[in-house]
């Protein structure tokens, strides 16, 4: 930071209505609750957004408190690099990491990718999510989205063969990836894998619960399997090589873009395909993740498309094509 004034941190909880409802195997919701961090120094303000994830015991209130508790450390000189060792991976660190990087780029008059020495993101195709429901409801949703080149299908366990067959019938040309969100069991795993293979699914996310996925190393995997809940940061990669073919990198899990980029480098060195994913959130959450897209085989940054409205100045979406952020939004 070049300003002589110490940075000032502000944070708040925001609520964003979802268009309809968003349902996965663990339940549904009608709004996205995000926490925004803003770090101001001199005339510049950096912003970052995170989504606390109940799956890992995070709440918006605790995340907000964790962010605000960092004020004195920032005044004392804590920067983005020091943050990695000072705060554990998770939503709070993500918001602050992205805010500090945004601030650093604005003060330096650079784009974030230039600052980091990374390739500039380009327009790319994002998946569009079909929520879990009855085969009939999912087929109707797939029919409406059948012109999109990449669909992500939320599944939930028993009956998933009927669901994925119904979706494929209504979206015959779309590439399909599915996300079981840990809902499959050893009893239905191979049956569900066969159902996905039969309709040409390209990738399956997290079929078994994290910590109970050893069976994936002992069976034939007719479709590539992607780790989501089983992978968080670089330290978790090595143990996944026999069970998974790809990993889903989400900034809220990794604890920010700094770790996510390092994680992507490490994962590719180990032979994993990369998927960049998101929670349901605004474009402020998606914008930093765009820096991962040059390395990603799969991009799933459709969070704003699932909202009733995005924040002003959000990312540009043209159908399923998402464009890099303007500097006014982030980075």
Q: Can you read off the two tokens belonging to residue 61? A: 């209130």
What sign for the dihedral angle of Cα 37, 41, 42, 46? negative
250 included as an active-site residue = yes
Note the residue count of the chain: 331
154 included as an active-site residue = yes
Q: Which of 106, 154, 169, 253 is catalytic?
A: 154
Please calculate the CA angle 263-303-156 and round it to the nearest 5 degrees. 85
Q: Which of 19, 27, 319, 15 is nearest to 154 (CA)?
A: 27
Label residues 53-91 b or e (16+ Cβ within 10 Å = b): beeeebebeebbebbeebbebbeeebebeebbeebebbb
> Which burial class, exposed, middle or buried, applies to 185 when counting CB atoms under 10 A from its CB (0-12, 13-18, 19+)?
middle
CA distance 131 to 152: 9
CA distance 301 to 324: 12
Q: Which of 5, 8, 106, 250 is catalytic?
A: 250
Q: Where are the alpha helices (DSSP H) in 58-159?
A: 60-68, 71-75, 80-86, 91-108, 112-116, 135-144
Q: What is the CA radius of gyration of the chain?
A: 20
Q: Can you read off the two tokens belonging to residue 9? A: 């941190």
Q: Report the phi/psi class of residue 52: left, alpha or beta, with left for phi > 0 and alpha for psi in -120 to 50.
A: beta
Distances (CA, A) of 289 to 112, 190, 238, 315: 11, 33, 23, 12
Positions annotated as catalytic residues are 154, 250
């Amino acid at each position: 930071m070049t300003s002589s004034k110490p940075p000032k941190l502000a944070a708040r909880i925001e609520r964003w209505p979802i268009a309809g409802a968003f349902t996965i195997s663990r339940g549904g919701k009608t709004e996205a609750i995000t926490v925004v961090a803003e770090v101001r120094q001199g005339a510049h303000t950096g912003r970052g957004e995170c989504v606390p994830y109940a799956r890992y015991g995070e709440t918006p209130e605790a995340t907000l408190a964790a962010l605000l508790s960092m004020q004195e450390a920032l005044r004392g000189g804590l920067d983005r690099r020091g943050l990695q060792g000072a705060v554990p991976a998770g939503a709070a660190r993500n918001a602050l990491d992205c805010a500090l990087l945004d601030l650093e780029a604005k003060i330096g008059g650079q784009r974030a990718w230039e600052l980091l020495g990374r390739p500039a993101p380009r327009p790319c195709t994002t998946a569009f999510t079909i929520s879990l429901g009855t085969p009939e409801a999912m087929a109707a949703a797939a029919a409406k989205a059948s012109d999109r080149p990449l669909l992500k299908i939320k599944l939930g366990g028993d009956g998933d063969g009927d669901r994925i067959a119904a979706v494929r019938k209504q979206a015959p040309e779309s590439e399909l990836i599915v996300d079981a969100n840990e809902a499959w069991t050893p009893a239905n795993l191979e049956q569900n894998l066969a159902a996905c293979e039969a309709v040409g699914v390209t990738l399956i996310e997290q079929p078994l619960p994290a910590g109970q996925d050893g069976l994936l190393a002992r069976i034939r995997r007719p479709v590539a399997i992607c780790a989501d809940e089983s992978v968080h940061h670089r330290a978790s990669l090595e143990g996944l090589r026999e069970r998974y073919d790809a990993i889903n990198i989400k900034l809220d899990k990794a604890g920010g873009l700094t770790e996510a980029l390092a994680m992507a480098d490490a994962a590719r060195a180990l032979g994993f395909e990369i998927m960049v994913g998101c929670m349901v959130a605004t474009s402020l959450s998606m914008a930093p993740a765009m820096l991962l897209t040059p390395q990603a085989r799969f991009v799933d940054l459709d969070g704003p498309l699932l909202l009733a409205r995005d924040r002003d100045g959000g990312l540009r979406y043209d159908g399923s094509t998402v464009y890099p952020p303007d500097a006014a939004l982030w980075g």
